Structure 1
């Protein structure tokens, strides 16, 4: 699904930074399906008055959509299947740069670490999303945890449109 709202929660500890990110199943999908089922049922019933063959479609089409709606609304496993959740842990010594974004309300932390699955050192960045006018305070909060040789810069930051 596109245009889902991503939720973030950060925890700063002595050893590092923890980030939880998740996408919930949007509530509008169930509302849309419910209304679409009702509107489709009305259209098929009107068409059934013109030609009785549409009566079968009036039963099967909206009836099937109603069953899908009920299974989605009442199924915990379906909601869990469409919810993405990631728990990420970073150590302070892995961070190589702190960037205060000039174009967004973001503090960007670049880091490198050895990825055991790939068998090599990878570079990546984590974006800490801030409320307006708080990125300087967030950067100052993080600064003491970082190594003294980590550069702190102000720069334009590109935020990915979606995170996996």
Structure 2
């Protein structure tokens, strides 16, 4: 039972981030949320597909992260798209701010998960892919799928 408690439970994943960016560095950040938002996330009602991260006045915020209002929350529900603060160490924030000052770098949300009962977000420092890089990713994915299909067919007989 103790092993199950420490396991991370994935809530939302941003697969598109790996397709659009080369992820060079990953960080784990806590989220500042209100009670009904946490309950809604525990039910899996969270989306980070259109979300983006900004650094303002030495603090990190995630914008456009959609947390569906908790159905039993009535007046305590907050705006689903309100900016939410991410909790990182100041040294990590300074490092990220220095990196995104360079051309082509951005901070992207990768996944939201529960860790030891707390809502955490994995963010990545990403460098934008060019069109030919994306085509290369698609070609590799197709090649891998074909190889798995061939392997499966070969092992059936």
TM-score, scaled to structure 2:
0.29
